[in-house]
Structure 1
Amino acid sequence: MEDKIIFKNLKIDFKKLQQLGFVKENDYYIYETKIMDNQFSLIIKIDKNNIVRSDVVDLSENEKLTLYYIAGSKGKFIGRIREEYDNIIEKIKITCCSKYIFKSQYANLIIEYIKQKYNDDLEYLWDKFPRNAIWRNKNNNKWYGALLVVDKSKIGISEKGDIEIIDLLLEPEKVERMIDNKKYFAGYHMNKKHWITIKLDGSVGINDIFELIDNSYKLSNKK
């Protein structure tokens, strides 16, 4: 059985995967365990594209369990097998994975910059919006940045497709002056008087963004 989405938006640490008991064979990391009182073997294969393939083998017959591959099959027996599979996948997520939502070079440079300078990590606050996250000033819990993946139309771009953006605090007089709806936009889902949105597609230089992050952090310290 193949699953292409179970590790979507997650980055697997393959070294940790091996520590968990996976063995690298050619293009796969493979884990095999006995389940159901040692009557069956559950085999999980993960490739470098995070695609998961799994098999259940009936050890008494040395054949694959057909019922496992039938979508929508129900019952206590197959439920127990899937529970065993789910438990292993959940363990992988907890011990071997980190979020991998923001994929652009700029987004990752920004995440690293803020971690190094302010020791702040992104907070994912909304289960319904897993691609939205914020940075919070530890001194007062105020937000000073938000990193998001949105459809381009959400910020007024007449194109289809997703784009990564950052929201930052900015002085109101600068907000009015900087917004051009090409590089700088009114704060997405923020108070448009005090926030600005920047595309992370290279249209604004990374050092300019770093300066605006520092300014946003400074503004968040104000009462």
Structure 2
Amino acid sequence: MQRQQLFDYISQHYQVEPDYPWKKHSEYAVLRHPRHRKWFALVFPLESHKLGLPDGPMIDVMNIKTRPELNGSLRQQHGVYPAYHMNKEHWLSITLENGLPDSEILALLDDSFSLTF
């Protein structure tokens, strides 16, 4: 899934646009609930080795909130990792390309939106 495809889905389904709150990390997109402003996702470029992958190009990653009881089984899937720089019990990092099928990425995003509502 391409980053822009993800943002288009979020805009259409949740009427939410990405927020870019950090000057130093200007490509880090925070996705927040419109009413209470809680995060339901964070999309950012990351060096692949920071997820334990071989050195390679920067990859787009999305952090999402998940149900703790599902984290273990989700982490067994290709493209799913313990959350980078977030609570690893409640959040996961998902590579947007070369990982889960788009439909599964969107289903997990929908769940994150519900969990953080």
TM-score, normalization by structure 1: 0.50
Number of residue pairs matched? 117
Q: Which amino acid aligns with 1:170?
A: T
What is the SS of the residue equivalent to 1:121? coil
Percent sequence identity is 26
1:124 to 20, 33, 38: 20
> When you count strand as a share of all residues, which structure comes out higher?
1
Shift of 1:176: 2.0
Q: Which amino acid aligns with 1:145?
A: A
- Tell me, in whole angstroms, the C-alpha distance in 1 between the residues paired with 2:56 and 2:107: 30
Q: Which amino acid aligns with 2:20?
A: Y
> 1:159 aligns to what?
55
What is the SS of the residue equivalent to 1:122? coil
- Tell me, in whole angstroms, the C-alpha distance in 1 between the residues paired with 2:94 and 2:39: 16
Shift of 1:181: 7.2
1:215 to 100, 111, 117: 111
> 2:74 aligns to what?
178
- Tell me, in whole angstroms, the C-alpha distance in 2 between the residues paired with 1:186 and 1:109: 23
Kindly indicate whether structure 1 or structure 2 has the higher relative contact order, using CA contacts under 8 Å at least 6 residues apart: 2
Structure 1 moving runs of 4+ over 2 Å: none
Larger Rg: 1
Q: Aligned in 2, Cα 1:208/1:181: closer, same or farther, shift over 3 Å? A: closer
Shift of 1:190: 1.0
- Tell me, in whole angstroms, the C-alpha distance in 1 between the residues paired with 2:38 and 2:64: 12
Shift of 1:158: 1.6
- What do you get for the CA RMSD once the two structures are aligned? 1.3
Shift of 1:160: 2.3
What is the SS of the residue equivalent to 2:97? coil
Structure 2 portions without partners, runs of 5+: none
TM-score, normalization by structure 2: 0.93
